[in-house]
Amino acid sequence: MDRKKFLKTSVLGSVAAVAASKGLAAAEHADDASTYDTLMQQVGFNHLPNNEERTMKSVVHRANTRGHANHGWLDTHHTFSFANYQNPERMHFGVLRVLNDDRVSGGKGFGKHPHDNMEIISIPLEGDLEHQDSMGNTAVIRQGDVQVMSAGTGIFHSEYNKNTDEEVKFLQIWMFPRAKNV
């Protein structure tokens, strides 16, 4: 489905309601195309206007200050406390809980394990990462792909280096969800 059709069928109603609450003018009796066009001119494709000025908090953690573990098959660097690396000053940053820089040897990986109430994002930088989960999904994600898994009420999954002859390098990011048990 193309972006315009998706927005019209799936998102437009929500956008129209939010736009109306923000005081944006949308013709009440216009057809879908003109409502869509009006909203897209006023709202934009990716976000509602935000007139609020905020300064984003930032903290610099130099690469050489991260936690590190080398398990032979897994060479990993942890930005925040994770596994055996514990630093009470680096538990999380806002909703960001984990930012791991992982290198996994050929054919090796993380066996079946559970997650719940976490948004998990995997971004391969080099190589191929195979994902399998308890919902019956199997996929290979490659450089340029981004996989997002919502663990919600619970899921089991595994991640393995699809290739036996080369390393896979990827970022694993965990974020606390907006709502639990969804």
For residue 43, pLDDT beyond 90 = no
Q: How many CB atoms lie within 10 A of CB 92?
A: 15
* Domains observed in the chain: 3-43 (no CATH), 66-175 (2.60.120.10)
β-strands 138-142, 168-175 pairing:
unpaired
CA–CA distance, 37 with 42 (Å, rounded to integer): 9
What number of other Cβ atoms are within 10 A of residue 173's Cβ?
Answer: 18
Per-residue pLDDT, averaged over 28-35, amounts to 43
Q: How confident is the model at residue 58 (pLDDT cuts 50, 70, 90)?
A: confident
Q: Average pLDDT of 24-53? A: 46
**pTM (predicted TM-score):** 0.69
Confidence of residue 18 (pLDDT cuts 50, 70, 90): very low
> How confident is the model over 40-49, as a mean pLDDT?
46
- Strand ranges across the sheet with 74-78: 67-70, 74-78, 96-104, 168-175, 119-126, 147-150
